[in-house]
Structure 1
């Protein structure tokens, strides 16, 4: 039997990758295809769209009922306003893909010449007319197209729709990151269609969901069956919790463990190994995680992510913008709008604080003893000195001004942990706070960050009460409450930064930092 691996790069190939059956992830698609429907499948990058649709196309063709293939439109992206050039590039790509993905007897007998703006529709119609079976075509990377090329392709599909299945594909699926109304189209001051009208023949739009716990378990057990290496049940549950079933993350954690951390199949995969892999992924920020950075600078994304990180109520944003961050996979909405999974929850603040971290000069690590032990009281001393000297100037280096103090403080703490400790965060929309847990060696330090704004009361009492609950969960008797005073017309940050000890409602000694 050929050896298999967990895959984190491009579509899975069943002979060398562990993967789940495509029909299990979108079981209703076969019924829609039988009913001759056109539909949209959208999901964030690296959630398995291409893998699932390629596998489904192969299953449909193998059934003998259909000729089905997954074809990409991505090569047309560079010709956003040259429809003819885009069509020629796309058709050349299709010819190559069809040669390798379908048996010769199911391939088009010929490719026809046509005028620009009609080439896609003409050749799909010709192929359907010649085909011994109804055609089912999955068009991948549809949202790579934009402007006139995008509109032309959508209109050609709509034009051929009434002629299905004898004169046009019985079923067409548009596959991409976004639903139709969010496809890119620069017109009238907008950068997207804002409408489904060029493809109003679609019957439904689907989002390819993340893996559920049972699917993660099934995927990991394929490795156990192949190698004998066991994932403990607690390790599987933790991997699911950290990833919330996001397919790339599920595979990335397993790949890191099985190929690098614990290559010996005799070593069982435990909670400790999953946590180790998680920290490596967060610190390394592979392509999938790194690509989140550009998304965070999108104003529509910023309008939603910034209040979530700050624990504020969501402002009055368009419903489409909420749907947009859900489609991108940055957020979920199962129990109220929140960051999609604990790994993203760690990565997003790191990405936002990256420039700030890079802007900081050398900081003497006085929080470590000569033996390398962590000293919390020295950390407080170092932070206060850093904050008074560098806090205010560094606010300008952050892309999210509403949470600039949070990001500057986290940039400092990233320097503190420096790969030898961990910094975990908890935040939720409407909570009015961000909680941080710094772990270094044997020391665990819990902190709560609050903001004091104009026309609002001093958040001290509320913060102490909230911090009590957080510290109780960490089984700690002390912690920090950091109050960022963002009211107008205040003295310089260096002059207003103070510390005091307060007693929480539960009797804990709390270091209160105001600045």
Structure 2
């Protein structure tokens, strides 16, 4: 099977041209070795799912990795504790079915004993205690149901088990990694006592995840070198990588999308890659409809304050100080539209700036 540039779904090294993210994976694995809990919160199409997949491949020999996604499981799952708890165990079992069938069957054997989150907690304790390896939990698309009280209670349960484990009073997942757009540490969970008016974050146990997920020039060049070698395409990989970074600021989808356009639409005869190709591909990209741009337009059109703020930046040329305490700046930062440049708010890359203009 010939490799290609991929901008939909998870990237597989044997199928797709990919940047070398070894350095990023090494840093994440250090957090896992410390038994930390954290969330990879980054904008849409920023390589979160691919990073989780690559992590699983690196860790599966030393850990029992349970990897699942909350995307597409429906809202009804989150209406009752019994339903959610059973589905959660089924998702765990499905994840292990092709990597450790014995452990998958062991999990399903516990399923009939679950009626609520308390039972789920006990099952997790039992499963982890009897496992031969440390168990790691990955949950992708975690913010799909982050406004659901049952989901927040589930996070609160994992948080409580983590704290008890540190005191030697429980067994639970060695590390839990959640992936999504929003930082769910900011979500609030009401205590069960209705008279208690305080709120507490269900995920305030998470350590900071400050690993830079965008592609740098060296990483982009690693993908170009592999591509040019396999396709016998002549290019100055360093210069092309610099050009790609100049346009995209390393936004993973944009980098790969430009390469895909050049490869499949502009350079079918495998000629030398030049700056002219980058410019032409950029124009094609800006004129097309894709999921990233559709998401950008939806987010801006649905938030009048954000729209006005971007208008002032781009059309009026206003300078604004970067401060994440400002909810509009924070929202633009979460979506990946704003960056902090010398203390000022700037649009994160040239392509977004042109598309928003």
- Please give the range of the TM-score, normalised by the shorter of the 2 chains: 0.7 to 0.9
- The alpha-carbon deviation at position 263 of structure 1 amounts to 1.8
Q: Does the Cα contact within 8 Å between 2:44 and 2:181 map onto a contact in 1?
A: yes
Q: How far does residue 24 in structure 1 lie from its aligned partner after superposition? A: 1.8
Residue pairs, 1:95-244, within 5 angstroms: 95-100=93-98, 102-105=99-102, 107=104, 109-111=106-108, 112=110, 113-118=113-118, 120-145=120-145, 146-161=147-162, 162-163=164-165, 167-182=171-186, 197-206=201-210, 208-232=212-236, 233-244=238-249
Q: 1:343 pairs with 313, 336, 351, which one?
A: 351
| Separation (CA, whole Å) in 1 of partners of 2:74 and 2:350 | 34
Question: 1 CA distance for matches of 2:130 and 2:213?
Answer: 36
1:8 and 1:252 in contact (8 A); partners too: yes
Measure the CA separation in 1 of the matches of 2:19 and 2:222.
Answer: 8
Q: Distance in 2 between matches of 1:16 and 1:106?
A: 29
More helix by share: 2
Structure 1 residues 240 and 250: alpha-carbon distance in aligned structure 2, compared to 1, 3 A threshold:
same
CA RMSD of aligned residues (A): 2.7
Quick check: 1:75–1:93 contact (8 Å CA) kept in 2? no
Q: Does 1:247 align with 2:252?
A: yes
The structure-2 alpha-carbon separation of the partners of 1:59 and 1:317, relative to structure 1 and needing over 3 Å to count, comes to: closer
The whole-number CA distance in structure 1 between the counterparts of 2:279 and 2:55 is 34
The whole-number CA distance in structure 2 between the counterparts of 1:168 and 1:185 is 21
CA distance in 1, matches of 2:305, 2:134: 41
Note the residue ranges of structure 1 that are not aligned, 5 or more in a row: 187-194, 350-515
Q: Kindly tell me: are residues 86 and 103 of structure 1, through their superposed partners in 2, closer, same or farther at Cα, counting changes over 3 Å?
A: closer
Asked if the contact 1:80–1:149 (Cα under 8 Å) also holds between the matched residues in 2, the reply is: no
Equivalent in the alignment of 1:46: 45
SS in 1 for 2:202: helix
> TM-score under structure 2 normalisation?
0.84
Q: Which residue of 1 aligns with 2:293?
A: 289
Q: CA deviation at 1:95?
A: 2.8
Q: Distance in 2 between matches of 1:332 and 1:26?
A: 23
Question: Which secondary structure state, in structure 2, belongs to the residue aligned with residue 41 of structure 1?
Answer: strand
Q: How does 1:323-334 map to 2 (within 5 A)?
A: 323-334=330-341
TM-score when normalising by structure 1: 0.60
Q: What is the aligned counterpart of 1:257 among 257, 262, 274?
A: 262
Which deviations, in whole Å up to 9, do the C-alpha atoms of 1:244-266 show, x marking residues without a partner? 1111111101111112211222x
| 3-state SS of 2:117 partner | coil
Post-superposition shift, 1:323? Answer: 2.7
Give the whole-Å Cα distance in 2 for the aligned partners of 1:41 and 1:120: 25
Larger relative contact order, structure 1 or 2 (CA cutoff 8 Å, min sep 6): 2
Question: Any idea what SS the aligned residue of 1:277 has?
Answer: helix
Call closer, same or farther: CA 1:78–1:300 in 2, change over 3 Å: farther
1:301-320 equivalence runs, <5 A? 301-302=306-307, 304-309=309-314, 310-314=316-320, 318-320=325-327
> Structure 2 CA distance, aligned partners of 1:222 and 1:123?
46
Equivalent positions of 1:363-378 (< 5 A) are none
1:18-47 Cα shifts (integer Å, max 9, x gaps): 223454224322222222111111101111
* Counterpart secondary structure, 1:333: strand
Which structure would you say has the larger Rg?
A: 1
